[in-house]
Amino acid sequence: MASTATAAVSLRLAFPLLSTPACSASSSNTLRFPLRRRRASRSLAVAAFKKLSEASPVAIPEEPTQPLVDEDALPPKPGVYGVYDPAGELQFVGISRNVRASVEGHRRKVPANLCASVKVAVSDEETPDRAALNNAWKSWMQEHIEATGKAPPGNVAGNNTWVGAPQRPPDLRLTPGRHVQLTVPLEQLIDRLVKENKVVAFIKGSRSAPQCGFSQRVVGILEAHGADFVTVDVLDEEHNHGLRETLKTYSNWPTFPQIFIGGELVGGCDIISSMAEKGELAALFQK
Do 101 and 21 meet the contact criterion of CB atoms below 8 Å apart? Answer: yes
142-164 tens-digit pLDDT: 999 999 999 999 998 778 888 76
The pLDDT confidence band at residue 2, using thresholds 50, 70 and 90, is: very low
Q: Of the candidates 90, 91, 22, 17, which has an alpha carbon nearest to the alpha carbon of residue 53?
A: 90
Look at residues 23, 32, 20 and name the one whose alpha carbon lies nearest to residue 160.
23
Predicted local confidence at residue 9, as pLDDT:
39
Instruction: Check whether 220 has a pLDDT greater than 80.
Output: yes
Side by side, which strands form the sheet with 58-59? 58-59, 117-122, 79-84, 90-96
pLDDT of 246: 96
Question: What's the whole-number mean pLDDT along residues 217-221?
Answer: 92
Contact 175, 239 (CB under 8 A): yes
**pTM score above 0.85:** no
User: What pLDDT is attached to residue 242?
Assistant: 93
**Average pLDDT of every residue of the chain:** 82
Selected residue with higher pLDDT from 17 and 5: 17
- Tens-digit pLDDT profile for residues 241-279: 999 999 999 999 999 999 999 999 999 999 999 999 898
Residue 166, C-beta contacts closer than 8 angstroms, at least 6 positions apart: 25, 28, 29, 30, 223
Q: What angle do CA 237, 239, 241 make, to 5 degrees?
A: 45
Rounded-to-integer distance, Cα 28 and Cα 163, Å: 6
Q: Rounded to whole angstroms, how far apart are CA atoms 287 and 220?
A: 21
Contact 42, 139 (CB under 8 A): yes
pLDDT reading at 29 higher than 80:
no
CA distance 282 to 262: 14
Residue 90's pLDDT band (boundaries 50, 70, 90)?
Answer: very high
Q: List 119's β-bridge partners, or say none.
A: 82
Pairing of strands 258-261, 90-96: unpaired
Give the DSSP letter of residue 142: H
Provide the residue type at 81 as one letter: Y
18: confidence class by pLDDT, cuts 50, 70, 90: low
Give the pLDDT confidence of 110-126 residue by residue, as tens digits: 888 999 999 999 877 76
Pairing relationship of beta strands 58-59 and 117-122 according to DSSP bridges:
antiparallel
Computed on alpha carbons and rounded to an integer, the radius of gyration of the chain in Å comes to 23
Mean pLDDT to the nearest integer, 99-103: 90
CA-to-CA distance for 21 and 253, rounded, in angstroms? Answer: 45
End-to-end CA distance of the chain: 40
How many C-beta neighbours within 10 Å does residue 73 have?
A: 13
The residue among 149, 98, 142 whose CA lies nearest residue 120 is: 98
Contact yes or no for 55/80 (Cβ under 8 A): no
Domains by residue range for the chain, with CATH = 57-148 (3.40.1440), 186-285 (3.40.30.10)
Label residues 82-103 b or e (16+ Cβ within 10 Å = b): bbbbeeeebbbbbbbbbbbebb
